[in-house]
Amino acid sequence: MNILKIISTAVLLILGSGHAYADVDLPTKFSNQGSIGNTRHNLTQRQASGGGPNGVNMDPYRNDYVEVCVYCHTPHGAATTVSLPLWNRTMKATSYTTYSQLGTTSLTQPVSQPGINSLSCLSCHDGQTAVDSIINMPGSGRYLASQEASQNDAFLNAWTNTRGPDAGVHGKLSLGECLSCHNPAAGFVGAGAPDFTIADIGTDLRNDHPVGIVFPPSSGPGTDFNTPAGVKGTTRYFDSNGNGNMDSGDVRIYDTAGAVKVECASCHDPHGVPSAGPGTTFKPTFLRVTNTGSALCLTCHIK
């Protein structure tokens, strides 16, 4: 399924170009304020509060479920084999090349395959599974248990887009799929589509901050790491405001198979974290702590 084959049917290419900036968000038409519905993680590509990007550009390439949460969560019929909250996504078994395979000698802790928390993100960001590949589509009788482990295009094709053309393909975050347009090399077909190449993480994690890595058991003054003193269930967190709650702005270390490990959502909250209290613009790149002055890094590292 190559999107390029049907690109001639693409509609409404809007002129413009994306540039990447350090320490701020990539240019976006979403307001990045108030709700995940106003961020890039709204996979309907139609801003919940009105305005925003023109989602009809994307309709041929992914189902528009009209709802925001459903691309990741479902109230019923959620995945039963993964411990993620009411998880609605296909989790394709995938083997990753880990950071440890870089041959680094400075790591003191073991690195494993990404833990379940990281796999939630990688279910889109590794480019192996369509962004619209879910177990339970909105409405009754649109559930397929086997979707939990493998993407079934016939099932996904049964969906009818109500706000634009039906999806002819179910695009992944990879070259030749969503990146047919979201890529500076895309030429005119990609006109107006922001560059997403950096978010196409793939299955080789050697050039990414290690995930599935054990947090050093020895921490605090005199060591290389601060101590995540907050404890919630099996997760530990840095209680940035000292209120005893694990807030979305608190960096956290997840319990993965009995060991506390750094995973994707240690640093990121996929729902967005307000920068200065409710209703304010979200911190860039879904980060829990804005990285100005490397504040995110220095939450864990003593350097």
Residues between 229 and 248 with contacts to ligand HEC, criterion CB under 6 A: none
What is the closest distance, in whole angstroms, from the C-beta atom of residue 154 to ligand HEC in the complex?
Answer: 18
Which of 215, 239, 272, 273 forms a contact with ligand HEC (CB under 6 A)?
215
Task: With contacts defined by CB under 6 A, name the span among 137-145, 152-160, 185-193, 272-280 that binds ligand HEC.
Answer: 185-193
Residue with tokens 């601060």: 226
Which range, of 141-149, 158-166, 186-194, 272-280, touches ligand HEC by CB under 6 A?
186-194
Give residue 146's Cα distance to chain centre: 23
Contacts to ligand HEC from residues 242-281, by CB under 6 A? 251, 253, 262, 264-268, 270-271
For the bound state, the minimum distance from the C-beta of residue 23 to ligand HEC, rounded and expressed in Å, comes to 8
Strand partners of residue 130: none
User: For ligand HEC, which is the closer residue by CB, 109 or 281?
Assistant: 109
Element housing 232 (H / E): strand 230-232
Site for ligand HEC in 127-166 (CB under 6 A): 131
Per CB under 6 A, which region of 74-82, 155-163, 208-216, 272-280 contacts ligand HEC?
208-216
Mode of pairing for the β-strands spanning 252-256 and 235-237:
antiparallel
Enumerate residues 6+ apart whose C-beta is below 8 A from 254.
Answer: 115, 117, 234, 235, 260, 261, 262, 263, 265, 266
| Strand 235-237 with 230-232, pairing | antiparallel
| Chain residues 30-69 in contact with ligand HEC, contact rule CB under 6 A | 30, 36, 40-41, 43, 45, 53-54, 57-58, 61-62, 68-69
Distances (CA, A) of 199 to 40, 122, 294: 12, 10, 21
Please list every residue from 93 through 112 that binds ligand HEC, using CB under 6 A: 104, 106-109
Per rule CB under 6 A, is residue 120 in the interface with ligand HEC? yes
Do residues 211 and 252 lie in contact, with contact meaning Cβ atoms separated by under 8 Å?
no
- Tell me which residue has tokens 């519905």: 37
Close Cβ partners of 222 (under 8 Å, ≥ 6 residues apart): none
| Residue placing its CB nearer to ligand HEC in the complex, 144 or 216 | 216
CB of 240 vs ligand HEC, minimal distance in Å = 12
Separation between Cα atoms, residue 82 and residue 256, nearest integer Å: 12
